[in-house]
Amino acid sequence: MEQKNNTLLIYTLLYFAFLYVPVLFLPLFSFNDGNYMSFPLTGFTTEHYEEMWSKSNLHNALWASIKVGVVASIVSTTIALFAAKAFARYKFRGQNISYGAIMMPFLIPEIILAVSLLIIWLALGFKLGLVPVTLGHILFCTPFAMLILIARIEGFDFSLEEASRDLGENAWGTFFRVSLPLYLPGIIASLLLSFIISFDEFVLAFFLTGSDATLPMYMWAQMRFVQKLPHVLALGAVIIVFTTLIVLLAFWLRNLGQGKKKAEFGINIHE
Amino acid sequence: MNSSFIQINEISKHFGSVRAVDNVSFQIHEGEFFSLLGPSGCGKTTLLRLLAGFEYPTTGNLLLDGIDITSLPPDKRPTNMVFQNYAIFPHINVEKNIQFGLRKLGLSKEQIEKRVKDVLSLVKLEGYEERFSSQLSGGQRQRVALARALVRQPKVLLLDEPLGALDKKLRDEMQLELRSLQKEIGITFVFVTHDQQEAISMSDRVAVMSEGKIQQLSAPNELYKNPQNIFVSDFIGETNFLKASTKTQDGEYINVSIENLGEFKIKNNLNISENSFDVVCSIRPEAMKIDTVKSDWDICLEGKIRQTSYLGEMTKFYVETKELEKIITVSSQHFDNQSFKNNDCFISISLEDISLLDKK
């Protein structure tokens, strides 16, 4: 038994090392006083971080990413909320097919999604820019938002909504006074994760941005110049920290109150 | 008192090919404690949900106090419901739960406060205003659900198996309490349950349902003493069925031939005609006498006890007789399983305890 546990421990450690050691090189070299990602380190500097304050291109790209991310996360979470409610609450004809259809962008290679959006967008005679990127991100984020919200809404006691109707509230009143507050942790988790997915997304942005770069596009452009590499590393390190914090927050919110809820309510059985 | 306060007119509810409620018509009186009783899947909950407005009937219409409510949504009906799992809003406290339904009634702040205070004292929950659902016991949640519905002063209170989740002792207590509460406030209660003892002990009238239809609608004692068919007789309490066929009619009596026992004059409680062959006789376990010696009752059978179960206040005997095909069940307060030598016994039946049932 002891032997087996050790093997598993070693496996686990290797697994995490494989996942995270490469990522840790980013912050490491971002503090290195040199242009190349190689050992030995030549000296400690925060110059690459300081540089970020002065780059207006970077600021524009950051602002573009935030705009796209905010709109995409709100729209995809809204769409996903309606869909998740329908899937969790009702049984209807074509349920599996429509579920599959919404999840499809998950499975289609992103580049194909990007190319087809590009073709349609140009064929319709529109200009490339942040609008098509946002639309692409909505499409791409919705399945993620759906997964989070379905997990939250499944097991929801729908007799609470019936109770609200019974107590004189109409459908809107019920939504705002009962459903929304109870779904809220899931909705916030979905907003945060959708935002992060949009914020980090590269392929769709690459095809659809035109001249307004998003942050990943900006980084990609910088990478072509060797002397800009440390700057990209510093930016990458900041993004990793920021992303990790948001994802942790999202998961914490998603699970908030859920263990308690399951113990508290039985499943509502109608004859 | 309005005896057609709720009118259920030819109501059917189909879910796909399933007829959950199948062309049901009856009336509920104003101020009565009315129970819908039946096994799971009999359509009682669907009928209650039709009254609440959570479902709409496939055909038929519903009138409440003379107003057609068939197509009104739940929030427009003067009914309130106590849910099976209570459905207490978990994100707000007891006081807010109870106030929830008062928002749209146009009451002043003082009126709202008074109503909440009154209803809390009615259900004996003073001091629990700040608690959340997770901090309450099953019985307390039930009281909150009751208070939340009653505070709106509905014309009808609908209760969907509200005692099902409670343990036996608490359930017995709540039965008494619900009954006296209903008497006190005088609101019409429509109570759904699968527990026949519960329905019988609490209700003014009971509708026994099976397969979407009303099998019998009568007062509890009638239901027990005078069941109309096999289903009701079997569902309400325990009974023994004896194969029978009708012979000649003689005033309010009918001559019935009971399997291997001969011909007997039995009171025609159902107005069965002499050429109706679809009848059975039913006799309750406690209506028979079991003894070690023969008696001079109308029917006395010699039998052997095959099994006994001791129930505290009485003992149940499962007795095999030469004459009857099935083992019959007899209950007695006076004997236990020690009393009979070699399990030999005599079972005595009085004719007036035999009732005739329609086989359908």
Q: What is the mean pLDDT of residues B332-336?
A: 80
At B304-329, the pLDDT tens digits run 999 888 888 888 999 999 888 888 89
Cα separation, A266 vs B218, in Å, equals 33
A178–B46 C-beta distance less than 8 A: no
Cα separation, B96 vs A45, in Å, equals 58
A157–B87 C-beta distance less than 8 A: yes
How many beta-carbon contacts under 8 Å exist across A and B?
Answer: 86
Q: Assess if residue A225 is contained within a domain.
A: yes
Residue A235 in tokens = 């930016």
Contacts of B91 in chain A (CB under 8 A): 181-182
Domain with CATH 3.40.50.300 in chain B: 6-233
CA of B177: how far to CAs of B149, B170, B292, in Å? 16, 10, 43
CA distance B113 to chain A (A): 17
Residue B74 in tokens = 């739940």
Quick check: B283 and B292 in contact, CB under 8 A?
no
> By C-alpha distance, which of B192, B190, B145, B174 is closest to B38?
B192
CA distance A166 to chain B (A): 5
> By C-alpha distance, which of A258, A245, A254, A141 is closest to A189?
A254
CA distance A266 to chain B (A): 7
Q: What is the per-residue pLDDT for A36?
A: 67
CA distance B83 to chain A (A): 8
In the block, residue with structure tokens 């910088």? A222
Q: Which CATH number is B238-358's, of 2.40.50.140, 3.40.50.1000, 2.115.10.20, 1.10.10.10? A: 2.40.50.140
CA distance B151 to chain A (A): 10
Q: Assess if residue A215 is contained within a domain.
A: yes
**Cβ contacts of B63 within 8 Å, gap of 6 or more:** B4, B6, B7, B9, B69
Looking at the partner chain, which of B41, B53, B75 has a beta carbon nearest the beta carbon of A169?
B75
Cα separation, B279 vs B257, in Å, equals 10
Cα separation, B248 vs B274, in Å, equals 5
CA distance A84 to chain B (A): 21
Contacts of A264 in chain B (CB under 8 A): 90, 133-134
Query: Amino acid identity of A259?
Result: G
DSSP assigned state of A128: P
Q: Assess if residue A12 is contained within a domain.
A: no
In the block, residue with structure tokens 């110049």? A225
Q: Which residue in chain A has the smallest CA separation from B101?
A: A167
Residues of A with CB under 8 A from a CB of B: 157, 159-160, 162-170, 177-178, 181-182, 260-261, 264-266, 268-271
| Cis peptide preceding B57, ω within 30 of 0 | no
At B185-208, the pLDDT tens digits run 999 999 999 998 899 999 999 999
Q: Which residue in chain A has the smallest CA separation from B157?
A: A166
CA distance B156 to chain A (A): 12
More confidently predicted of A22 and B214: B214
B74–A162 C-beta distance less than 8 A: yes
More confidently predicted of A269 and B302: B302
Q: Residue B106: pLDDT band by 50, 70, 90 thresholds?
A: confident
> By C-alpha distance, which of B129, B220, B228, B239 is closest to B175?
B220
> By C-alpha distance, which of A241, A216, A230 is closest to A50?
A230
Quick check: B150 and B119 in contact, CB under 8 A?
yes
Cα separation, B213 vs B317, in Å, equals 34
Q: Give residue A267's Cα distance to chain centre.
A: 31
Q: What is the per-residue pLDDT for A169?
A: 92
Residue A210, CB-side half-sphere exposure with 13 Å CA sphere: 14
Quick check: B268 and B253 in contact, CB under 8 A?
yes
DSSP assigned state of B352: G
**Cβ contacts of B225 within 8 Å, gap of 6 or more:** B355
Q: Which residue in chain A has the smallest CA separation from B14?
A: A271
Q: Assess if residue A22 is contained within a domain.
A: no
Q: Which residues pair with B82 in a beta bridge?
A: B159
Residues of B with CB under 8 A from a CB of A: 20, 40-46, 49, 52-54, 73-75, 79-81, 83-85, 87, 89-91, 100-101, 103-105, 133-134, 148-149, 152, 165
* pLDDT(B180) > 70: yes
- The order of strands in the sheet holding B344-349 is B289-291, B344-349, B299-310, B315-321, B328-332
Q: What is the per-residue pLDDT for B277?
A: 66
Mean pLDDT for chain B?
89
CATH number at residue A153: 1.10.3720.10
* pLDDT(B330) > 50: yes
Query: Amino acid identity of B286?
Result: E
> Model's pTM, two decimal places?
0.78
* Best of B15, B47, B86 to mutate (most A CBs within 10 Å, chain A): B86
**Cβ contacts of B355 within 8 Å, gap of 6 or more:** B225, B226, B227, B233, B266, B267, B269, B281, B282, B283
Residue A193 in tokens = 């994760």
A265–B103 C-beta distance less than 8 A: no
**How is B100-151 classified by DSSP, letter by letter?**
GGGGGGT--HHHHHHHHHHHHHHTT-TT-TT--GGGS-HHHHHHHHHHHHHT
Q: What is the per-residue pLDDT for A269?
A: 32
**How is B267-325 classified by DSSP, letter by letter?**
E-TT---TT---EEEEE-GGGSEEESS---SSEEEEEEEEEEEE-SS-EEEEEEESS-S
With H, G, I as helix, E, B as strand and everything else as coil, classify residue B194. Answer: coil
Residue B151 in tokens = 């505070």
Q: What is the mean pLDDT of residues B279-298?
A: 88
Q: Which residue in chain A has the smallest CA separation from B75?
A: A168
Contacts of A160 in chain B (CB under 8 A): 87, 89-90
Looking at the partner chain, which of B20, B52, B89 has a beta carbon nearest the beta carbon of A271?
B20
Looking at the partner chain, which of B45, B89, B133 has a beta carbon nearest the beta carbon of A271?
B45
CA distance B347 to chain A (A): 42
> Which residues form the domain of A103?
39-262
Looking at the partner chain, which of A162, A163, A264 has a beta carbon nearest the beta carbon of B134?
A264
ipTM > 0.95? no
Looking at the partner chain, which of B45, B54, B152 has a beta carbon nearest the beta carbon of A162?
B54
Cα separation, B153 vs A133, in Å, equals 55
Query: How many structural domains is chain A composed of?
Result: 1
Domain with CATH 2.40.50.140 in chain B: 238-358
DSSP assigned state of B229: B
Quick check: A134 and A201 in contact, CB under 8 A?
no
Contacts of B41 in chain A (CB under 8 A): 271
Q: Assess if residue A34 is contained within a domain.
A: no
Residue B252 in tokens = 């309010």
Q: What is the mean pLDDT of residues B31-38?
A: 94
Q: Give residue A160's Cα distance to chain centre.
A: 30
More confidently predicted of B125 and B249: B125
Cα separation, B63 vs B98, in Å, equals 28
> What fold, for B6-233?
Rossmann fold (3.40.50)
Looking at the partner chain, which of B81, B91, B134 has a beta carbon nearest the beta carbon of A182?
B91
- Which contiguous run of DSSP H or E holds residue A199? helix A180-200
Percent of chain B clearing pLDDT 90 (strictly above): 51
Q: What is the per-residue pLDDT for A2?
A: 52
Question: Residues in chain A with pLDDT < 50?
Answer: 1, 259-271
B87–A159 C-beta distance less than 8 A: yes
Residue B177 in tokens = 């309490």
Contacts of A270 in chain B (CB under 8 A): 45-46, 49
Contacts of A177 in chain B (CB under 8 A): 100
Q: What is the per-residue pLDDT for B97?
A: 94
**How is A10-66 classified by DSSP, letter by letter?**
HHHHHHHHHHHHHHHHHHHHHTBSSSSS-SSP--B--HHHHHHTT-HHHHHHHHHHH
At B216-260, the pLDDT tens digits run 999 998 888 888 888 898 888 888 988 888 878 877 888 888 888
Quick check: A83 and A103 in contact, CB under 8 A?
no
